[in-house]
Structure 1
Amino acid sequence: MAYIYTYACYEDERSLCALEMRSFFWEESQTSILESPIKIDPSRSPFIKERIAVIYEDHSLENLLKQVANFQVTGDTFKVYYVKNDGHEKIAEEGFENRRAIEKKIGLLINGVADLHHPKRVFGVMNVNGRWVFGDYVKSESIWFRHQQKPHSYSTALNTRVARAVVNIAIPVTSGIKAIDPCCGIGTVLVEALSMGIDIVGSDRNPLVLGGTRENIAHFGFTGEVRLADIRHITNQYDVAIIDLPYNLCSVISPEEQHEILQSARRIAKKVVVVTVEPIDEALKKTGFCVMDRAFVKKGSFAREVIVCM
C-alpha cells in the first residue's frame, strides 16, 4: 500500500525535519509531500500534518469517481475531506468551493452512511504528482504541544517539538527496542519517548533534578524508570542511547568528561544520537564513533546539532 504524507516546518527546522524523514522513510522530499510504502503514525512527528492510505488512484478525477462508486463502507459512518496540495502543484480544484463540491460528489457516490460532524472513518481525496488519490485519512495530533505544560522545566532544555523529532530520529521503529537517556535532566526526551510507547529508561548524575523528572513523567500519566546514576557506571546494554550533552552554567563539563560520556555511550549502546551546541566531530572520532547522519536546528542565534552515530 502507498501512503502519502504532507509536511510543514519552520525554516530553522528544515534540516531536522529532513533528518527525521530520512530516519522514517530512508528518503527525503524537497516538497511538502512525501510518498512511501512505509506506514508511520502522523502524530509521532512534529512535522507531519496528515496521511492518506491510498485505496484508489487515477490520472483523471472522472475515472477516480467511477472507482469510488463501487466502494462500500459498512459498520462505520464516514466523511470525505479534500486534502490541499501545498507543494509545487497548484490546480483549479484547490479553490474552496471546488474542494467542497468534490467532497460532496465523492460522498454521494460511496455506499454507506455519511456523518459530517462525528464520523468514525474519514477519507481523503487529493491531487498529487499528476494523479488523483482516494483513501483513509488521518490527521496528526500535536501531542508534543500538550507536553509543554509540564510541572518542571529548564530554560536550556530541548523544547518538546525538537525532543520529539530527536526521539524519532533515534528510534524510527519502536518495536523490540530498549533505549536509554543517560543524561535525562528534567525528562523532556523521556516524556516524548514514553508517549510513543517506547521502552526507555532515564538516568542522571544530578540528584536535585530527578524528583522533577519523575513528576513530569507522572503528570502525563506515564510510568518509566528514572534513577540516579553516572553514565560511566552504567553496565546494562541498550539498542539506542539519546544524549543531550550538558552545556549550561550548572553543568559545565571538561573535554575529558565529554570524552568519558561519549566513550560510555559507545560502550552501552549500539546506536547513539547526540545533541550538542558545540562541534564534537573530533571527540566522536577519538571515541571510535562513525557519524551516519546529522542535522542542525536553530532558535534565533542559538543552534544545536543532532548527530546520529554508530
Structure 2
Amino acid sequence: MLEIAIIGAGPAGLSAGINAIARGKTVRIFSSESNYLLRAEKVNNYLGLYDVDGRQMMEQFLSHARAMGVVPEKGKAANILPMGEYFLLNVDGEMVEAKTVILATGVSSAKEIPGERELLGRGVSYCATCDGMLYRGKSAVVWGLSPEAAKEANFLQEIGVSVTFVSASAFREGLAEQIPYLSGAVKQVSGKEKVEAVLVNGQELPADGLFILRNSIAPAALVEGLVLEEGYIKVNHKMETNVPGLYAAGDCTGKPLQVSKAVGEGLIAAQMAAAYLDGHKS
C-alpha cells in the first residue's frame, strides 16, 4: 500500500514529495491543473531565486523533484474516503489506497451551488468516468468548468447517457455534435432523495444526474467532515487536519499566499506524515 498520497503539484506538494522521499516513504503526487505560480510575472521574495518568473521557478522545483524520483501524475481526485487505518482515493476512476494523505490543492475557486452538497452521491458527481455507468439509459446534465469537460460529456453519451452540456463556450471545443449545448451556468440542483432537476438560465431541466466537472474540488467536498476556517483548511502547527493521517499545506491552509510559506508547510507536512507512519508500524 502507498504510504503518502499528495494532492497537488505546486510548491507545497513538490516540497512534501521530496521530503517524504528523503525519509524513505513511498509517494505519489496527483495534480489536475496548473498552479498560480506558473502565471506569476516576477517573484523577488524567494530566497536564492531572485528576479525569476513563476514558470522558471516551477521548472526549477520540478527539476529538483524529478531528480529525486518524484514525478507528478496527471489526475483529479474526485473524493477521499477515510477508512480508519488508511484512505481510499478516487483519482480519475482509479482507486488508490494510501496510509496518509497530504492536501496541497492551492486556493480552490470552486463555489458550491444550492443543493450540491446535499445531493452529492445521490445524483451529483464530480467524475464522469467514475460514475457514468450508473446513469446509463438515464439523463444527466454535464456542467463543464474545465478543458476536459467536453471529452467527459462525450464519454457519457457514448455509454448510453442522455447528456445536456452546459458551459461557457471556451469549454465547448471537442463536444460531440449530437449533444445539446447550453451556454451558461448551473445555478441550482434540486430533488428530495436524489437529483430531479437542474436550474440553468432560469430554466429547470429534468435530470437524473448532474456532473460538475471543475478543475479542482472544494476541500470540504473532497473529504467529508473536513473542518475549514474562513474557507481554508484548518490545520495545527504540525499541518494536521481534524482527520487523523490527513495533512494539508500551502495556499489551501490560508494566508499569506506565498511560495516560501507553501514550501515550508510542505516540508512540515511530509515530516509529520512520516512520523505518523513510523508511529503506526505494526
TM-score of the superposed pair, with normalisation by structure 2: 0.27
Q: Which has the larger radius of gyration?
A: 1
**Structure (1/2) with the larger helix percentage:** 1
TM-score of the superposed pair, with normalisation by structure 1: 0.25
- Bigger RCO of structures 1 and 2 (CA < 8 A, at least 6 apart): 2
